Amino acid sequence: MKKLFIYALGVCTVLTLTIFPAPIKATDFEGQEDKYMKICSSSSLSNSNLNTCKEFNSYLKRKNKALKNQVNESKAQASNTKANLDSITNEITSLNDEIAQKEAEINYLQTSIANLETSISKKEEELKERMYSMQSYMNNNSYIDFIFGASDFSDMFSRIESINELTSYDKELVSQLSDEKKQVESQKATIVSAKANIETQRASKKSLQEQFQALYLKQNAEAIAQEKAALQAKNSSEKIDDNLAAFAAAVKESELPSGSVVSGNSEIGNAIANKALSKRGSVYVYGACHSMSEIANPNQSTFDCSGLVSWAFYQAGVNIGSNSTKTLAKKGISVSRSSMQAGDIILFSKNGSASGIHHVGIYIGGGNMVHAPQTGDVVKIASLSSGYYQANWYDVRRLY
């Protein structure tokens, strides 16, 4: 079952690398969330995209935190706007009450004005009658012509008062008529001014109310949109968390721990050897091919000795993770020289102990191995009969 799982994992990895041939790289995920969600939520997440997806997940968590802060800020702003809106609404209600009161006063004043105008008309008629009586008594039209030839009402009063022949009653009548006319004009002006002032205030408050209402609706909409985006980021992050955890579990399950029982399947061993042989001529670079993105890359072109081993095993469907020569010494099982088969690894030590392990190669049969020797060299085949390798021989281990 272990062998079948490792083989299946290898097939899935190859298919994944076919779908995503190159590692995804991004430092700014803004505006590309859908793209990376699709990649990082995929059930066929590849090693080459693992680090980017971790970065993307961290980005989502930061975004979610920022969105939550924005939601709180938007809600606070909406709350302040609502308080202002309520205050303005109360002011408008108060102004409406004032307008209703003023309208009642206006109705009263209009009645008062109507009464004054009636009184003025009567007094004017009475004054005219007295003027005509005076005219008849004196048999002279000069008063009428003089008084009613005035250009306006004020001028008429002035002319009336200048007539010495008027009695005290006439003059009192003229004075009352003048006062009442002034009251009418003053009250009319007061009504117009008071009503216009209140209407202006109400119109201003109404406009302010509409502005705050629009702002409140906008802030509420923003808060709702931010909450929705925060929830989406949270759900997306949780989904990627689960995906990354599942991927890590699959990797861990597929790795061969120290002392594990292995199948020794020669087909797998041959596949490992052939994968390593396919990289003959590739340049040795110290520390190369130690990240999982490099190990999972079928087009990897630089290796050190342990990097070549990790890469060849992974490409053959056996994930032993990222290794150094010393960690390889603890994986799989030790086999004798006489039992070696293609795909086994050979470890070399400069002092004959685990502390001195410094090199590793992959046995390919016929007394030969393929390995990445040293800086300035390339991946190539070497004969194990060499005195150097015989002198530094430490162990043979089978990891498949």
pLDDT along the chain (400 residues), means of 10: 36 35 53 84 69 85 85 84 83 79 76 73 71 56 60 63 57 70 76 80 82 84 84 84 73 51 82 96 95 92 97 95 93 93 97 94 96 96 94 95
Q: What is the reported pLDDT for 147?
A: 61
Q: In this structure, are residues 273 and 364 in contact, taking their beta carbons and an 8 Å threshold?
A: yes
- HSE-CB at 31 with a 13 A cutoff on CA atoms is 1
* CATH 3.90.1720.10 domain position(s) in the chain: 266-398
By three-state DSSP, how is residue 359 classified?
strand
Q: Whole-angstrom Cα distance, residue 81 to residue 232? A: 27
- Checking phi first, is residue 90 left (phi over 0); if not, alpha (psi -120 to 50) or beta? alpha
Per-residue model confidence (pLDDT) at position 146: 59
The DSSP result for 9-35, as a single string, is HHHHHHHHHHHS-S----S--TT-HHH
Annotated active-site residue in 12, 290, 305, 358: 305
**Catalytic residue check, 305:** yes
- On whether the pTM is more than 0.85, the answer is no
Domain(s) labelled CATH 1.10.287 in the chain stretch across: 21-254
Q: Is 358 a catalytic residue?
A: no
CATH class of 266-398: alpha beta
Give me the pLDDT at residue 6, please: 35
Q: Provide CB contacts within 8 A for 122, sequence distance 6+.
A: none
Whether residue 359 lies in the annotated active site: yes
Tell me if the domain spanning 21-254 has CATH number 2.30.30: no
For 342-361, letters b (16+ CB in 10 Å) and e give bbbbbbbbeeeeeeebebbb
Nearest-10 Cα torsion for 344, 346, 352, 358: -130
